[in-house]
Structure 1
Amino acid sequence: MVSRADVLAFLEAKLAYEIDVVAAAEAQADGTAVVVDTRRQSSWDQGHVAGALHLPKDALDAPLGWLPGDRILIVYGWGPGCNGAAHTAQRLLLEGFDVRDMIGGYEYWVRNGLAVGRGSQVTHRAPDPLVTHVETHQLSAD
């Protein structure tokens, strides 16, 4: 049986390591963090977190000195069912970077209506009311 202390330690570590998409957007906006997309090139080309750096798995063997060492690196993959960001995070942590994993990944970034880059364009989709941090109000016909 797992003790309460073990579960609490696990949850504290999880909360220290993971960041949700809203907090990630805020950290990116205030300059304390840089968002890093860990998906393959074809996924990046379809759309990515606006302002993110691209570090696909096949580039992890190259030198990583081009990444900013003075800010938190927030890594993400496709969504909750993808662990590609965890592999990248492991490598970055071993290299001495301060890393967080963005829970929900790109899927929840988009579903929250946050800025998406594709080529030179930045767009926002309407937030999904099931997951959004934004208050949505329906207009009544009264």
Structure 2
Amino acid sequence: MTSAVTTVPAAPSDLARAHFAAEFTFETDCWDVHDALSKQPDFVLLDVRSPALFARGHVPGALNLPVGKIVRSKLEHWPQETVFVTYCAGPHCNGAAKAALRLAELGRPVKIMAGGITGWLDEGFAVARDGEAA
């Protein structure tokens, strides 16, 4: 008897390895971002939600750059090889993916922070609020 899980067989190990290894080139997680921000981060973290949502709480050190504002001129002061990490509300939001696509279209290296601000809060990490030091 098979379940809904096993009706479609798992991929062969070589394909699974390639698939899961590739995922790390596209995304990172809240723990790794938190750890990197506590040191000397080698990326720019972009909160791509609205300014109002950013003001209510964001990852400390993140810059607010909504998807519609991601244009070449806003990125000019960062070297071309600068890695950007985008996040939005969380798994129910595709804003981080839209922002990542836009950055990639502009020729910039980019990853998504899986889980977004929801994942950040789920991990118990603090947020900064408008008017507080990031």
| TM-score normalized with structure 2 length | 0.77
1:103 and 1:50, CA in 2 relative to 1: closer, same or farther beyond 3 A?
same
Residue 116 of structure 1 contacts residue 122 of structure 1 at CA under 8 Å; is this kept in 2?
no
Matches within 5 A, 1:2-81: 3-29=12-38, 30-61=40-71, 63-66=73-76, 68-69=78-79, 70-81=81-92
Structure with the bigger RCO (C-alpha within 8 Å, sep 6+) is 2
Partner Cα distance (2:23, 2:35) in 1: 19
| TM-score normalized with structure 1 length | 0.74
Q: Within the alignment, does 1:121 sit opposite 2:121 as a pair?
A: no
Post-superposition offset of 1:118: 0.9
Partner Cα distance (1:97, 1:66) in 2: 11
Post-superposition offset of 1:15: 1.9
Q: Which deviations, in whole Å up to 9, do the C-alpha atoms of 1:37-67 show, x marking residues without a partner?
A: 0111221121111110111022134623246
Q: Which residue of 2 aligns with 1:106?
A: 117
Identify which range, 112-121 or 60-69, moves more after superposition: 60-69
Moved over 4 A (4+): 1-4
1:90 and 1:47, CA in 2 relative to 1: closer, same or farther beyond 3 A?
same
1:68 and 1:10, CA in 2 relative to 1: closer, same or farther beyond 3 A?
same
Residue type at the aligned position of 2:65? L
RMSD over aligned Cα atoms? 2.3
Which ranges in structure 1 are unaligned for 5 or more consecutive residues? 124-142
**Length, aligned pairs only:** 123
